[in-house]
Chain A
Amino acid sequence: MMRIALPLGLALGLLATAPAMAIDTTRLPIKDGNFSFEGPFGTYDRGALQRGFQVYKEVCSACHALNHIAFHNLDEAGGPGFSEAQAKAIAAGYKIPAEPNDKGEIFDDKGNRLTRPGILADYFPAPFPNDNAARANNNSALPPDLSMIVKAREGGENYVYSILTGFHQTPPKGFTVTANKYYNPYFEGWNISMPPPLTANGVSYSDGTKATIEQEAHDVATFLAWASDPKMEERKQMGLSVLIFLVVLAGVLFAAYRKVWADAH
């Protein structure tokens, strides 16, 4: 009971000291990002997945882990469509904490953690060694792991898209942004710990796509949707075959049912 009572007491205390004029800080309705993979036949846009990966790698990964994604996932069917060689090159670009060497050491003479280049079997390394380190570097806020963020939020990819494009707005009169927080009306309570992550031309796309904030947000939301649901395309394809089979089977069974019962009523 203490665990619940303590935050509750704190929250009540904060309420008591809040200014008398209360503003309804319920989050705004989620924006519709018109994603290619919505609907029963929707598939991921490969270009968007690759661009979104670039945004994750160059921007988000500074603070956010992607714990459940391995480098070999990048060349798997239904994914961003990188070749195996490309996925290997991407993996090799990451430094992975090395296994103990021949002497059983994992630190070098200067006390630095030994590392090795990543291979396809490795998972994306987390930016911080533990939650406390992550908090210490982020004004005591904990950046969530992104591998399931789209499944773990009401509104999914549209929510991620709304948050990422919801910065850079002037707060309404009477609303004061808390210290070390940022105004984002798509976030419940409007105070978000994440600083505006995206800037126009913050990444430079090799396919010539113009890197506006909306474009970057849309791309990275697509990438994160895939990270949450890497089997979506396989699932929808199989679903179609299964449903066609079942409808045909239902037709056969219905004919049999009619025939058997023809003389019974």
Chain B
Amino acid sequence: MSGQSTYTPKSGLEKWIDQRLPLPRLMHDTMQTFPTPRNLNIWYTFGGILTFCLAVQIITGIVLAMHYVANADMAFDSVERIMRDVNYGWLIRYIHANGASMFFLAVYIHMFRGLYYGSYKAPRELIWIIGVLIYLLMMATAFFGYVLPWGQMSFWGATVITNLFSAIPVVGTHIATWLWGDFAVGDATLNRFFSLHYLVPFIIAGVVGLHIWALHVPGNNNPLGIDVKSPQDTVPFHPYYTVKDAFYLCLFVIIFAGFVFYAPNFFGNPDNYQQANPLVTPPDIVPEWYLLPFYAMLRSIPNKLMGVLVMGGAIATLVFIPWLDTSRVRSCRFRPLMKQFFWAFAVSAVILGYCGAQSVDAAIAGIPLVWVARLCSIYYYAFFWLIMPIVGLIETPKKLPASIAQSVLGASAAAAAE
């Protein structure tokens, strides 16, 4: 994988560059000849899709920032100017707004894929932890960005989230005041959020570089979760995975475009087309869909500080997964018991998200949703802190195939190829 470069400079110029700054060598080794397991399925195309999402958000975001005015009196109108008077401003803004949702959709698929195939297990712990950091930075960026249009949900969402810090004993209110730059969410808050919303994506881009660097040391995991043993198990990244990623990216963009052109406000909240008004609280303050599971956890706990801790802990938990999983086998494909707990976890996360979208006192068939959310929150923690360590010890995994090549090509073909 790393270390064995197959790059040979073809011209004098390439040779000259290679001796001084081997950038062409790096590109060649990481994007062209990089040996990639030959059995990666559709769920492994989301890494490329996420890179695309980040690029789209940065490019559209830079253009939007040329027209946006970060001022509490003008922000709302400036966004509407973009929608009406800037050439293709509506297109750029709808791509950016829906792009955030598509970005999170892709990142959740990417994370659940890693969870299912055990991609966090040794020697890929750092890839996973860097990934959790990217996810955290994404949530911060999305939150800052949602505040910028300065609609009702922007303002009240910012108020609710920043107020969470006031739950910290003794210094909480000071922290909140420090975050606001004022004694409430206002012009100063909007300006710093804009500044950070512009900054953090570039930090994400840097951390994504680390994520990919760390990936290129052990190479990709794969649906079988077994190590690459011979060159038979891999194919060069180009053209095999460039073409596969391109095809699935295109399908993803079709869905993306469907939202942008035909349901551009599907993920939005109508209240955010009303200008922020500190004197009028919306009946239900709801965050964007991708934060709903954590919001449901927060709301299901009566004590504010405990709620904040449980919510924060849910994200912090992800960092420890590589050591919580005691199984010797990576992929859930060979873990009959863990597979069931995994799908229960996925369903429970969706239910949590649903609960987060409903009003606090909502009930279904007489069951208060707050209790459903509590059960799902308990399962969230139990899944990582109890089920993962215990199942790994007691479960008998199915027999692993001898090699990737044998599994894909069949035993005789693999032998013949050798």
Tell me which residues across on chain A come within 8 A of B250, comparing CB atoms.
246, 249-250, 253
Tell me which residues across on chain A come within 8 A of B94, comparing CB atoms.
235
Q: Is the CB of B247 within 8 A of A253?
A: yes
Nearest CB in chain A to that of B268: its residue:
A151
A199 to B91 CA separation, bound complex (whole angstroms): 39
Q: How far is the CB of B380 from chain A (nearest CB, A)?
A: 30
Tell me which residues across on chain B come within 8 A of A242, comparing CB atoms.
257, 261
* B264 contacts chain A at the CB level, 8 A cutoff: yes
A-contacting 9-mer, from B107-115, B272-280, B295-303, B323-331: B272-280
Q: Which residue numbers of A lie inside 8 Å of B, CB to CB? A: 3-4, 7, 40, 68, 73, 144, 147-148, 151-154, 156, 228, 230-231, 235-236, 238-240, 242-243, 246-247, 249-250, 253-254, 256-257, 260-261, 264-265
Which residues 302-354 of B sit at the A interface, judged by CB distance below 8 A?
none
Which residues 228-279 of B sit at the A interface, judged by CB distance below 8 A?
235, 239-240, 243-244, 246-247, 250-251, 253-254, 257-258, 260-262, 264-265, 270-271, 273-274, 278-279
* B408 contacts chain A at the CB level, 8 A cutoff: yes
Q: How far is the CB of A105 from chain B (nearest CB, A)?
A: 27
* B58 contacts chain A at the CB level, 8 A cutoff: no
Whether A151 contacts B265 in the complex (CB less than 8 A), given A4-B281, A235-B90, comes out as yes
> Given contacts A243-B254, A250-B247, A264-B38, could you give 9 more A-B pairs where the C-beta distance is less than 8 Å?
A7-B281, A68-B77, A68-B80, A148-B80, A247-B254, A253-B247, A264-B235, A264-B240, A265-B408
* B398 contacts chain A at the CB level, 8 A cutoff: no
Q: Is the CB of B270 within 8 A of A151?
A: yes
Tell me which residues across on chain B come within 8 A of A250, comparing CB atoms.
247, 250-251, 254
Nearest CB in chain B to that of A253: its residue:
B247
Nearest CB in chain B to that of A231: its residue:
B90
| Partner among A4, A230, A243, A254 whose Cβ is within 8 Å of the Cβ of B261 | A243
Q: Is the CB of B270 within 8 A of A152?
A: yes
Q: How far is the CB of A107 from chain B (nearest CB, A)?
A: 26
A253 to B274 CA separation, bound complex (whole angstroms): 43
Q: Is the CB of B243 within 8 A of A239?
A: no
Query: Chain B contact residues (Cβ within 8 angstroms of A): what range?
Result: 35 or more
Nearest CB in chain A to that of B260: its residue:
A239
How many A-B pairs have beta carbons closer than 8 Å: the answer is 86
* B83 contacts chain A at the CB level, 8 A cutoff: yes
Q: How far is the CB of B188 from chain A (nearest CB, A)?
A: 18
Q: Is the CB of A239 within 8 A of B257?
A: yes
A243 to B408 CA separation, bound complex (whole angstroms): 34
A239 to B264 CA separation, bound complex (whole angstroms): 11
* B15 contacts chain A at the CB level, 8 A cutoff: no
A152 to B77 CA separation, bound complex (whole angstroms): 14
Whether A246 contacts B270 in the complex (CB less than 8 A), given A148-B80, A230-B84, comes out as no
| Partner among B243, B254, B278 whose Cβ is within 8 Å of the Cβ of A3 | B278
Nearest CB in chain B to that of A241: its residue:
B261
Q: Is the CB of B243 within 8 A of A253?
A: yes
Interface bits B121-162 vs A (CB < 8 Å: 1, else 0): 000000000000000000000000000000000000000000
Q: Is the CB of B91 within 8 A of A238?
A: yes
Q: Is the CB of A148 within 8 A of B240?
A: no
Q: What are 8 sample pairs from A and B whose C-beta atoms fall under 8 A apart?
A: A151-B265, A151-B273, A236-B261, A243-B258, A246-B257, A256-B243, A265-B39, A265-B408
* B390 contacts chain A at the CB level, 8 A cutoff: no
Q: Is the CB of A243 within 8 A of B257?
A: yes
* B409 contacts chain A at the CB level, 8 A cutoff: yes
Tell me which residues across on chain B come within 8 A of A231, comparing CB atoms.
83-84, 90
Tell me which residues across on chain A come within 8 A of B253, comparing CB atoms.
246
Nearest CB in chain A to that of B152: its residue:
A152
Q: Is the CB of B281 within 8 A of A235?
A: no
Tell me which residues across on chain B come within 8 A of A151, comparing CB atoms.
265, 270, 273
Tell me which residues across on chain A come within 8 A of B83, comparing CB atoms.
231
Tell me which residues across on chain B come within 8 A of A265, comparing CB atoms.
38-39, 408-409
Q: How far is the CB of B163 from chain A (nearest CB, A)?
A: 9
Q: Is the CB of B273 within 8 A of A260?
A: no
A260 to B36 CA separation, bound complex (whole angstroms): 15
Whether A153 contacts B270 in the complex (CB less than 8 A), given A40-B262, A246-B257, comes out as yes
Tell me which residues across on chain A come within 8 A of B273, comparing CB atoms.
148, 151-152, 228
Tell me which residues across on chain A come within 8 A of B261, comparing CB atoms.
235-236, 238-240, 242-243
Q: Is the CB of B90 within 8 A of A3?
A: no
Which residues 61-101 of B sit at the A interface, judged by CB distance below 8 A?
77, 80, 83-84, 90-91, 94
